[in-house]
Structure 1
Amino acid sequence: MPRYFFDIASEHAIRDEDGEDLPDSEAARDMAIRIAAELLPVHSRQLAQTGRVAITVRDEQGATVHELECRLTTRTQPV
């Protein structure tokens, strides 16, 4: 079973050194979405400050197979 790595770019870059054995690239994409759903509440302050939290999925050779980016855009309306 192939191994995929999930690097997180938020306030600090976190490189996944352990990875996860998953059946295929689509399962890795689904895992990245689940990780993002768990991270958003934890990184909400960072998201509000920078407007971005990203997860890059790498395969065993180090090639990027998926990129997931969560963005927050806020607009203040004039009073």
Structure 2
Amino acid sequence: MPRYFFDITSEHTVRDEDGETLPDSETARDAAIRIASEVLPVHSRQLVQTGRVAVTVRDERGAVVHEVECRLTSRSGRAGAG
């Protein structure tokens, strides 16, 4: 089975040096979504500061195969104002 690595980027990037053996790329993508949902509350302050928290999935060769990105955007104005 292939090994996938999950790097977390908020203010800085934390590289996954151990990785996880998974059956395929789709399973790695699902794992990245799960990881993002778990780290987002921990990195919420960085999300406000940088506007972005991401989990990047690399394969054994180091190629990026997926990226799960959470962005914070702001909009001015009030909905329904007329």
How many equivalent pairs are there?
A: 78
Gap runs ≥5 in structure 2: none
Gap runs ≥5 in structure 1: none
SS of residue in 2 equivalent to 1:47? helix
Identity across the alignment (%): 78
Superposed CA RMSD in Å reads 1.3
Where do 1:1-79 residues align within 5 Å? 1-77=1-77
CA deviation vs aligned residue, 1:40-71 (integer Å, no higher than 9, x gap): 10000110111100111000011111111110
SS of residue in 2 equivalent to 1:68? strand
Relative to the length of structure 2, the TM-score reads 0.88
The Cα shift of 1:15 comes to: 0.5
Greater than 6 Å deviation, 4+ residue runs: none
Q: Which one has the bigger helix percentage?
A: 1
Larger radius of gyration: 2
